[in-house]
Amino acid sequence: MNNSIHPTAIISEKAILGKNITIGANTIIYDNVEIGDDSFIGAFCELGVNNHLSEGQKLVLGKNSHIRSHSIFYEGSEFGDGLITGHRVTVREKVLAGKNLQIGTLCDLQGHCEIGDYVRFHSNVHIGQHSKIGNFVWIFPYVVLTNDPYPPSEIQMGVTVEDFVSICTMSVILPGAIISEGCLIGAHSCVKGITEKDSIYVGSPAKNLGSTSRIKLEDGSTAYPWRHHFKRGYPEEVTKDW
């Protein structure tokens, strides 16, 4: 199968590995794991951590996955092709994610959430349970999506983040908030409720500062929707429609 597995790695015989897979030193892969072809798993990782909340479901990583070292994935989550992670990500059970997801160093996905295609989490993002994240979303460092409206309580109201949203550094999104398509949430903000589409929200509590079209790049063109000028890392099949 042309696989390259470090001799110190500990791989369950029950794990299903595709072709052309690299697995780093000391990494542990438990029983309930399926990894697609052409994937790389760094050193010191744990894939398929057992948990009763997984209900026996596998961890499924698609083709061309690239998991950097010291990362931990529970069983019971499923990712489309092209997943890329930084180091030390922690991903619990029941994450259902599309293709080409990027999860930055130190991110903490608490599980029980849905994530679309081409989503990018920068470093140290915390995704609470019951979050629903659309496609082409960007979330920057130290952002937290919360879910408990009366902490601590038994009520869980996840955050919804629609397509093309950008949430900037160190913002908190309060339980049940809906960040509507194309919104920009400024750094260090705290957002509750439902935002208006394509609008800028800044502050704590965050206020609507108007349309994102107000923000201009230095050449005078509009900075948002960001897809009109930012295409790095997206395949041409995606950006041709932008």
Footprint of a second copy on this chain (CB under 8 A)? 8, 10, 25-26, 28, 43-44, 46, 49, 69-70, 72, 86-88, 90, 105-106, 108, 110, 120, 123-124, 126, 138, 140-142, 144, 146, 148, 150-155, 166, 168-170, 172, 174, 184, 187-188, 190, 203-204, 215, 217, 223-224, 226, 229-230, 232
Closer of 18 and 102 to a second copy (Cβ): 102
- Min dist. Cβ of residue 114 to a second copy (A): 20
Q: Which is nearer to a second copy, 18 or 142 (CB)?
A: 142
Tell me the C-alpha distance between 25 and 121, whole Å.
Answer: 26
According to DSSP, the residues that pair with 224 across neighbouring strands are: none
Can you tell me which residue has the tokens 């950008």? 166
Query: In angstroms, how far is CA 158 from the centroid of its own chain?
Result: 15
- Beta strand pairing status for 206-211 and 199-203? antiparallel
Which residues are 96's β-sheet partners?
Answer: 78, 114
Which lies closer to a second copy via its Cβ, residue 18 or residue 169? 169
CA distance 144 to 141: 9
| 240 SS3 class | coil
Nearest to 6 by CA among 32, 33, 20, 27: 27
Rounded to a whole number of angstroms, the minimum distance from the CB of residue 211 to a second copy is 15
Cβ-based nearer residue to a second copy, 59 or 106: 106
Q: Closest approach of Cβ 7 to a second copy, in Å? A: 10
